[in-house]
Amino acid sequence: MSKLLIVDDEVNIRAVVREYAEFEEYEVDEAGNGMEAVEKCRLNDYDLIIMDVMMPKLDGYSASKEIKKHKNIPIIMLSARGEEYDKLFGFEIGVDDYVVKPFSPKELMARVKAVLLRSQATQKPEPIKNERLKFGGLEIDIAGREVYVDGEKATMTPKEYDLLFYLVRNKGLALTREQLLEAVWGYDFYGDDRTVDTHIKMLRGSLKQYRAYIVTLRGMGYKFDADAT
């Protein structure tokens, strides 16, 4: 049985999420603010955290950063703000998903299931292939999960690596946003196309002068093309 930590300063929201989570047979713990969440994570192990952004004492972003220093627990962020900047910031600190209030509890549970499945899958060891690819000054070490831009090691989020590796392994192929969601995030019906667009924007920033290798296919998705200029 997976154990969830629900962190929100609104008692009613915690109660609703708990009801739906327990119906799905998850074990549930609660915290009313970021400080309490950090302390609970020091004392207990959780499979996933549902974290509100705006809270007293310590906001959700700061709490998530503190927790990630010590434990690699998947986090779904809840926020009343849906601007791209807020999502970018969340993804940059390692948040796994972002749900805007007001939200459907059923959809939230579907996202919880998807994130848990993805987290469990990444914990299974996979055969390591010695894949080191070079496209001009862009060098990609898939086995070592490292990317170099003109000899300088790039700093990327885990999802940026996953997205780049999938694009490169399928270089030249037109990939829809839905395909990328399913392959990289494990989402199906409950995926959000904007999640892909947001991470593509972050990835292009990390690739610097080689950003043009990721080609936008208007109205469809993206592809990796090292001959693009």
Candidates 3.30.70.580, 3.10.20.30, 1.10.10.10, 1.10.3720.10; CATH matching 132-224:
1.10.10.10
- 19-68 pLDDT, tens digit per residue, is 999 999 999 999 999 999 999 999 999 999 999 999 988 999 999 999 98
Q: What is the pLDDT of residues 10-28, one digit of tens each?
A: 999 999 999 999 999 999 9
Chain region(s) in the chain for CATH 1.10.10.10: 132-224
Q: What is the rounded CA–CA span in Å between residue 221 and residue 20?
A: 34
**What's the whole-number mean pLDDT along residues 174-203?**
79
> Could you tell me what percent of the chain has a pLDDT over 70?
91
Pick 3-122's CATH classification: 3.30.43.10, 3.40.190.10, 3.20.20.70, 3.40.50.2300.
3.40.50.2300
* Residues of each domain in the chain carrying CATH 3.40.50.2300: 3-122
Q: Cα separation of 221 and 193, whole Å?
A: 9
Q: pTM of this prediction?
A: 0.65
Average pLDDT over residues 200-205: 94
